[in-house]
Chains A and B, each alone.
Chain A
Amino acid sequence: MRQRSVIPGFGLSLGYTAFYAGLVVFIPLAALFIEASNLGWGELWQTISAPQAVASYRLSFGASLVAASLNLIFGLLVAWVLVRYPFPGKKFIDALVDLPFALPTAVAGIALTALYTPNGWVGHLLNFKVAYTPLGVVVALTFIGLPFVVRTVQPVLAELEAEIEEAAASLGANRWQTFRRVLFPALLPAMLTGFALAFARAVGEYGSVVFISGNMPFRTEITPLLIITKLEQYNYAGAAALGVAMLLVSFALLLIINSLQHWSAKKTGGK
């Protein structure tokens, strides 16, 4: 089973780890699957494919996709600027990028709502509505996913050798060609990893969205909110069914992220 080692504590540390992980993660998740299985296939499918549920998937996945794409573009830009260019206040800005990880989602939610309501600082400048529309959901999800692409691309960009760019330039490539043909392919795995992380986080997000979305069924109701609605109506099996559907998506995303990270490590590490 394990290699011989002089280091003690294998049984204790692994035993405790397995016990604790089982108690905190494994058993509760198993309870979710058991509850959903009480429904039987027909009813399970009916709950998952109900029109209100489908509308909520469309919003949750659509808005997450838009938000993660925004973060992909601007995350690359921010990482590029932070790694390549000196400018005043850079350290401060670098630290601030992690704000969405540190700021509680409820605080982010009410702050963004205050900004984007029609008489808010940003809202009154716009001639279209953001708060209480799907656009508001995109804004909240962009906020909470902001650090992912920056933080995955930044270290890869910093590690790139200047030689390959010099080589490209000496072979006659201009700056844009060098970026597109040399740098972009090297950064792509990290960018996609960050994109997938931001997307996975956005799909499950609740706290920052509920304040700005307005929570209208079929229009601005995200899937996690629909789960809570079902739970409040004591529809445990229905909530569990939607929970299982979302959980399976999360598993799939986790697998994709793992293989992306693997690819990224292989491409940059070369080991």
Chain B
Amino acid sequence: MAGTITTLGNSHAPRISNVTQESRPVRWLLISLAIAFLFLFLALPLAAVFSEAFSRGWQVYWQALQEPDAWAAIRLTLIAAGIAVPLNVIFGVAAAWAITKFSFRGKQFLITLIDLPFAVSPVIAGLTYVLLYGSHGPLWSWLSEHDIKIIFATPGIVMATIFVTFPFIARELIPLMEEQGTSHEEAALTLGASGWQTFRRITLPAIKWGLLYGIILCNARAMGEFGAVSVVSGHIRGQTNTLPLHIEIAYNEYHFAAAFACASLLALLALATLFVKSLLEWKERHERFLASQAARKEP
């Protein structure tokens, strides 16, 4: 960063002149337009979820959440996220370690492969698993011989969830670890730490906020995934419905209050996710600030 400009002075000094500011009416017009757009597309849908959920009173709301099918759906959603997120954490850390600490041929290909699930339609993700493990697929005879059900069962739902949340952790960690480089790890290793100790004491503390950030985003997507899970689930009530699929069925059967009651749970999850995300961003900025202050004190 130490370019010619930054050495001349603080480039973020308060702006003295008006020449780089819009006039007051223009400013207010732009702010109002932006807020109107966000109100229409973000605030209103969110408000609609809660308003519809409570449109027939608290009692109907509680009843909808206490239905056995709703509970089974919540349980399955927790199971799917509970398996998919840890597996993707292990993968994300391993992938980021391999990609950022070493240089090897085919790295770019690997990075593109990791990005791929973000670009693929969730429906296609589900479709690929149906083709591979379904009754039409190459593994079907072996699977049925061993009495293993994947499609229209929990394993398929877990796999589809893993696919759509596959890049989250790795995507978060790769730029972060790239920026941190390898000098700290190398120092620890030359001082006699083992590989595992180095990872636990040096790398992990340095990436913990980024890792947490990736985990909450991964979890939000895992619990809310609809398209991919819908293709592999078979929609068996009480058995293969996750919470989003349960919402769909209730909605299509015109149980609007029940559908929106369950939707309000997921909306709360989304709001909690955004809150934790902002908190982590603040925390990370704060630590960066402290680190830069500490660096400035050194001669």
Contact = CB atoms under 8 A, between A and B. Distances in A.
B41 A142 contact: yes
Given A206-B227, A246-B124, A13 B182 contact: no
Given A17-B91, A95-B278, A207-B227, A240 B270 contact: no
Contact of B119 (A74, A200, A207, A231): A200
Interface in A1-46: 1-3, 5-10, 12-14, 16-18, 20-21, 24-29, 31-32, 35
A228 B128 CA distance: 12
Given A106-B247, A161-B11, A9 B97 contact: yes
A3 B128 contact: no
B17 interface: yes
Contacts, number: 297
B143 interface: no
A26 B20 contact: no
B38 A96 contact: yes
Nearest to A14: B98
Contacts of B87: 20
A151 B51 CA distance: 29
B176 to A, nearest CB: 15
Nearest to B113: A21
A115 to B, nearest CB: 5
- Pick the most buried of B33, B115, B227: most chain A CB atoms within 10 A of its CB: B227
Contact of B124 (A14, A26, A243): A243
B277 to A, nearest CB: 7
Given A103-B224, A103-B266, A250-B119, A7 B101 contact: yes
A250 to B, nearest CB: 4
Nearest to B127: A243
A179 B103 CA distance: 41
A236 B136 contact: yes
Interface stretch (B59-67, B184-192, B204-212, B288-296): B184-192
A110 B42 contact: no
B270 A9 contact: no
B192 to A, nearest CB: 12
Contact of A204 (B120, B217, B266): B120
Interface string A161-178: 111011001100001001
B70 interface: no
Interface in A88-103: 91, 93-103
B46 interface: yes
Interface string A218-245: 0000001101100100101001100100
A16 B185 CA distance: 21
B45 A85 contact: no
Given A6-B190, A163-B5, 17 more contacts: A9-B98, A17-B99, A20-B91, A24-B162, A85-B27, A87-B31, A95-B277, A103-B46, A106-B263, A111-B263, A114-B260, A115-B44, A162-B20, A204-B122, A206-B122, A206-B227, A246-B124
Interface of B: 5, 11-12, 15, 17, 19-20, 22-23, 26-27, 30-31, 33-35, 37-38, 40-46, 48-49, 52, 87, 90-91, 94-95, 97-99, 101-105, 110, 112-117, 119-125, 127-132, 134, 136-138, 159, 162-163, 166, 182, 185-186, 189-190, 195, 198-199, 217, 220-221, 223-227, 230-231, 244-245, 247-248, 251, 256, 259-260, 263, 266-267, 269-271, 273-275, 277-278
23 contacts: A2-B104, A3-B102, A10-B101, A12-B94, A14-B98, A18-B110, A21-B91, A32-B128, A77-B34, A96-B274, A102-B270, A103-B270, A104-B225, A105-B226, A105-B244, A120-B48, A161-B11, A162-B20, A200-B119, A207-B230, A227-B124, A239-B127, A243-B127
